[in-house]
Amino acid sequence: MSKAIVLNEKFESNGEVVLPASYEEINKHNLYLYVKSYLAALRSNTARAKTRAEVSGGGKKPKAQKGSGAARWGSKRSPLFVGGGQAFGPTKRNYNQKVNKKQKALALKYAINAQANNSTLFVVDSIKLVSGKTKEAVAVLSKINKRDTLIVCDSIDEKTYLAFRNIKNCYMVEKQEVNAYLIAAYHSVLIEKSVLDALTKEA
């Protein structure tokens, strides 16, 4: 069974918490489908090229139909000419990919379990830095000692936000913002116990 590392108020290792055994049986394809859907939804969908029906000009036939020995030219709006329409250019399309609620829940469970398997899921009662000093936030992350960290809080107070906001190798979110993609994207996760309990219960 997967285990998350429990930290005390000084952010030092203080035991483990076991995740449900059912998490081990989840197929990783659920996470793949969710990440694919999440990234597709981020696409700007603004690429657009004009066809020969949309470019300006082309009212007059460029040259005579016969006599030149060359091909027949009907319009300067043809894709063959500079300034003409594009034959198979990008058009506005819908990139959204549907993932049902059950798959989203399974993806979240799998992502949490994967972090626990890698010994990179850290659980603490509270992540609050009342001083608001970045120096304290850096000290917290140095104890975790990972390349980057996702910090998940029940609610982010102003002082804690000020402490963490200028650190480039961490990202802080509240419970309602967290998803399987974010958990999978970071090398470690620091999460409040109340949030982990809620996520594992809802997922």
d(CA 157, CA 128) in angstroms, rounded, equals 8
Q: Are residues 137 and 39 in the same domain?
A: yes
Could you report the average pLDDT of every consecutive run of 10 residues in the chain (203 residues)?
88 88 93 96 89 88 90 90 91 88 94 94 92 92 92 92 92 93 95 90 64
Q: Are residues 177 and 112 in the same domain?
A: yes
Residue type present at position 31: L
Q: Are residues 57 and 151 in the same domain?
A: no
Q: Are residues 82 and 176 in the same domain?
A: no
CATH code, 159: 3.40.1370.10
pLDDT given for residue 79 in this prediction? 92
Number of domains present in the structure of the chain: 2
pLDDT given for residue 93 in this prediction? 83
Residue 108 structural domain: 3-44+98-202
Q: Are residues 174 and 79 in the same domain?
A: no
For the full predicted model, state whether its pTM sits above 0.85. Answer: no
